[in-house]
Structure 1
Amino acid sequence: MKKTFFEKATLNQKMLFFVLGALMTIFSIYLTSHYFSAKYPTGFEAGSICNINSFFNCDATTLSPFGNIAGIPISIFGALMGAFVMLTFLYNNDEVESALLTVLGVNAFGCVVLFLYSLIGLGHLCPFCTLYYLASFGALFMLIKVGEIRGLNFKFISIYAIVTLAVAGITYSSVQSWESKKIQMSQSLVKMFYGLPNLGTPGTPSPFRLASATEKFEDAPIQFSIFSDFQCPACKALTTVVEKIAEKYKGKINIQYFFYPLDHNCNPNMERPLHTYACQAAYMASCADPAKFGPIHDDIFADQEKLSTTWINNYANKLGVTECMTKPETKESVVKMINQADTFSVRSTPTTLLNGVKIEGVRPLSDYYAIMDEILKRAKK
């Protein structure tokens, strides 16, 4: 008679199996928290231990189309998988184990698809997602290696499916509740915005603009300064927001762009390699005609996943700025922008100044609209 995993496994193997399930749940809970923090931030500060460098980056996957299903973060399903693994310690038999084996197999297939999508499609890997994949494969491997139970058990698979759908439904309702509260939250953020200190504007305006209402930067009712990195996934997400803001407030907003590469090759604040092409991309953009900066900015972010020395050199050749990129004064101009950011304690990207108020990360578009509408209202424009 075939034995289950729990009948054959040693105590250490059982404990390891439980730990793997616990880790799956812990990693998934963190990723779920990260998802909601990114989608529905409650303050103006941002930061995450999950964004290690340009390759290992949670924001890239969180903000991707595969980061959620109908607004439900896929990490919710990972937390359930971990819970299913741990629950086998309380209730296990042939039927439960065969169903768990099937569910873990489906989960493993999903992990492979997401891994390949992240690696090939996005050009990034989410560190905590990767740890979840490893824990998942570890649990599946142990179940196959030690246990002898095989086959399908539709009864318990159906139970798993019903529980999953129930949790998905509850999560969906929660997401819809968050969505419905966006306007209310935006209004509370307006109050928070006006309660924060006005840090002013950078001493030397940037010649690189994404929207221009007046020649002098400070003359526009809405003044938006962006400290950004061409390799930063969140900065790429901000470009979509900026495009809509520039269109909605055309003639009333100035948007200036400051290079802040998270790259030790030109940023003295960086102690280790992070975005290793960011300085070169900044040199290239800074060498071009400022009047052409908008399209250049868009092209670089559009091909962010392809960014490499070859890509930058090819684009530089097209612009005719290859020689300029190597000049010492080019690096000096980028470093000057970085030094200006120090005045505002910029340490992550994107960091923005909206009429002198510092905002870290990317906020929902509705938040920017609420704040900017209030700025115009108070300016009576």
Structure 2
Amino acid sequence: MLQTLLLALVPAAHAADGATSAPAPLLIGVVVLAVLAVAGVIFTRPVDGMIAGAGVGAMATVYLTVQHFVAQHGGTSICNVSSVINCDAVNTSKYSEIGGTPIALFGLGFYAAMGYLAFRTKAGRSSAAPALLLVGALGSVGYDLFLAYKSIAEIGALCIFCAGTWAINALLLAGSVLLVRKLEVPVGKALTTAFADDAIPATLMGLGVFVVGLMVVKMESGSGGVSLGGAPKVDDFADLVENVRGSIVLDGTEPVRGDPASKYSLVEFADYECPHCGLMSPVLKKVLEENRDVKLLFKHYPLSMDCNKYMARPMHPMACGAAASAECARVQGRFWELSEQMFANREFLSPDDIRFMAEKAGLDAEAFNACVANPAAMDAVKADIEAGATAKIDGTPSIFLLGAYGDKWVKLNVGPGDKDRMTAFFAHLRAGKPPPTPTEPAPLPE
């Protein structure tokens, strides 16, 4: 039952950046209508509006919490419209967690506490609760301003559902102000009373919802069974492998991680601004550490119209420059060192940022700058893009395998949450067991 509910909240989507999602106008329209509906109630019946706002906010945070874990399994949000309107870019950033826990889950606890206080007010059980509602709303709006700044100024992307919660919190602030104005005692006195009578129960309510939510996501994502992302058990390989739409072409210039003589070869097409690629990078490194008979080859596929003629819309404005920089690191034998840094800091890929990372990676600065300025670096990137087009990839990361089916390449349907599954698959092959029959790939989106 729980899994069905969670999967209903997170519709199936392509497991890669660059895939299509819900139409932007429709999605934005739904969010705007929800916010307007709450606003209409708040400014006519403030208490009812506060309850409605807490409910809408709670639903949004449930979705964002689930989607945070889904993204770690390679799933994509329904609001990934472009590089600017992209929930996963925001929801997988370093600002999306506190101590490894998604901030959306803290938000769920907040809305539970606000809803509790609003119900207390409506039932006439607390005449001072509006003062506490005001404090909570002020705190949430202040934190929202911080998140909005980080989202726009640093991440360069906007999450529609996050923005919806910001609007809801602003409305909760407006509603609490309307309720406070009706208090028969000064706000300070009401606040003292509210802290004495309502603060502990409201905190326990919010904390209880938070803890239950945390337990659920921990159990679901770490049970070894079906996860929040709908990922199969680690020993279920039925849908792990699919046939390649096109063909895999290597030119011998690909950076190689692992033993070049390894029996199994992985080829990854990736983009340095892609959230899922950033999550996948350390996972693949661990897979290679645990499976010494597997090597990884890297090919660039920046999702940017600046260098990728197959892109129909703008997505990742810094991706082409980052790819060319990685090529220059390859020339100096430091590809993986710079690559790891760029994946880990995908929100900071300006030329100056990359030069700083290149120095940290031990590259010769003068030679690096000269290489980046040389068109040959971008030519190498474009050659990889052509290879991606030949393979008919539909997004990033796209990962292909050679060695399990003789000289036949297949695509691996894996995401950042599939490390154990990949290791189990290679152990399965190593034991001489037959690999699963590859499924047919879905048609490319038009």
TM-score interval, smaller chain? 0.7 to 0.9
Q: For 2:128, what is the secondary structure of its paired residue?
A: helix
The answer to whether the 8 Å contact 1:203/1:340 transfers is yes
Match of 1:158 in 2: 200
The change in CA–CA distance for 1:310 and 1:122 in structure 2 (over 3 A counts) is same
Return 308-317 or 225-234, whichever deviates more: 308-317
Match of 2:268 in 1: 226
The change in CA–CA distance for 1:210 and 1:281 in structure 2 (over 3 A counts) is same
Cα deviation per residue 1:187-220 (whole Å; 9 max; x = unaligned)?
34433325x43668612255232414235xxxx3
User: Where in structure 2 are the equivalents of 1:230-379 lying within 5 Å?
Assistant: 230-250=272-292, 252-287=293-328, 288-289=330-331, 291-312=333-354, 315=358, 318=365, 320-322=367-369, 324-325=371-372, 330-355=377-402, 356-359=410-413, 361-378=415-432
The letter for the 1-side match of 2:309 is P
* Alpha-carbon distance between aligned partners in 2 of 1:205 and 1:368, rounded to the nearest angstrom: 26
* Alpha-carbon distance between aligned partners in 2 of 1:99 and 1:77, rounded to the nearest angstrom: 18
* Alpha-carbon distance between aligned partners in 2 of 1:189 and 1:111, rounded to the nearest angstrom: 41
TM-aligned CA deviation for residue 85 of structure 1: 5.3
Q: For 1:362, what is the secondary structure of its paired residue?
A: coil
TM-aligned CA deviation for residue 100 of structure 1: 2.3
Match of 2:78 in 1: 49
The answer to whether the 8 Å contact 1:72/1:171 transfers is no
* Alpha-carbon distance between aligned partners in 2 of 1:191 and 1:237, rounded to the nearest angstrom: 24
Match of 1:6 in 2: none
TM-aligned CA deviation for residue 222 of structure 1: 2.5
The change in CA–CA distance for 1:282 and 1:117 in structure 2 (over 3 A counts) is closer
User: Where in structure 2 are the equivalents of 1:105-124 lying within 5 Å?
Assistant: 105-112=138-145, 114-115=147-148
The answer to whether the 8 Å contact 1:221/1:376 transfers is no
TM-aligned CA deviation for residue 350 of structure 1: 1.9
Q: For 1:182, what is the secondary structure of its paired residue?
A: coil
Return 283-292 or 224-233, whichever deviates more: 283-292
* Alpha-carbon distance between aligned partners in 2 of 1:200 and 1:254, rounded to the nearest angstrom: 22
Q: For 2:240, what is the secondary structure of its paired residue?
A: helix
* Alpha-carbon distance between aligned partners in 1 of 2:421 and 2:389, rounded to the nearest angstrom: 26
TM-aligned CA deviation for residue 238 of structure 1: 1.8
* Alpha-carbon distance between aligned partners in 1 of 2:303 and 2:90, rounded to the nearest angstrom: 19
* Alpha-carbon distance between aligned partners in 2 of 1:171 and 1:82, rounded to the nearest angstrom: 13
Return 341-350 or 60-69, whichever deviates more: 60-69
The change in CA–CA distance for 1:68 and 1:325 in structure 2 (over 3 A counts) is closer
The change in CA–CA distance for 1:46 and 1:348 in structure 2 (over 3 A counts) is farther
Match of 1:4 in 2: none
The change in CA–CA distance for 1:325 and 1:116 in structure 2 (over 3 A counts) is closer
Match of 1:213 in 2: 259
The letter for the 2-side match of 1:137 is A
Match of 2:68 in 1: 35
Match of 2:214 in 1: 172
2:236 is the alignment partner of 1:182: no
The change in CA–CA distance for 1:33 and 1:367 in structure 2 (over 3 A counts) is same
The answer to whether the 8 Å contact 2:86/2:158 transfers is yes
TM-aligned CA deviation for residue 307 of structure 1: 1.4
2:168 is the alignment partner of 1:131: no
Identity over aligned residues, as a percent? 22
Match of 1:3 in 2: none
TM-score scaled to structure 2, two decimals? 0.68
TM-align CA RMSD: 3.6
The change in CA–CA distance for 1:238 and 1:22 in structure 2 (over 3 A counts) is same
The change in CA–CA distance for 1:10 and 1:263 in structure 2 (over 3 A counts) is closer
* Alpha-carbon distance between aligned partners in 2 of 1:300 and 1:319, rounded to the nearest angstrom: 19
Cα deviation per residue 1:73-100 (whole Å; 9 max; x = unaligned)?
3323423544565673753552332332
The change in CA–CA distance for 1:188 and 1:373 in structure 2 (over 3 A counts) is closer
Higher helix residue share: 1
* Alpha-carbon distance between aligned partners in 1 of 2:248 and 2:216, rounded to the nearest angstrom: 41
* Alpha-carbon distance between aligned partners in 2 of 1:303 and 1:51, rounded to the nearest angstrom: 20
The answer to whether the 8 Å contact 1:282/1:334 transfers is yes
Q: For 2:413, what is the secondary structure of its paired residue?
A: strand
TM-aligned CA deviation for residue 161 of structure 1: 1.4
* Alpha-carbon distance between aligned partners in 2 of 1:373 and 1:200, rounded to the nearest angstrom: 28
The change in CA–CA distance for 1:298 and 1:127 in structure 2 (over 3 A counts) is same
Aligned residues: 362
TM-aligned CA deviation for residue 329 of structure 1: 5.2
2:142 is the alignment partner of 1:100: no
The change in CA–CA distance for 1:16 and 1:286 in structure 2 (over 3 A counts) is same
The letter for the 2-side match of 1:49 is I
Cα deviation per residue 1:20-57 (whole Å; 9 max; x = unaligned)?
44542332122022123124x4xxx6322344555654
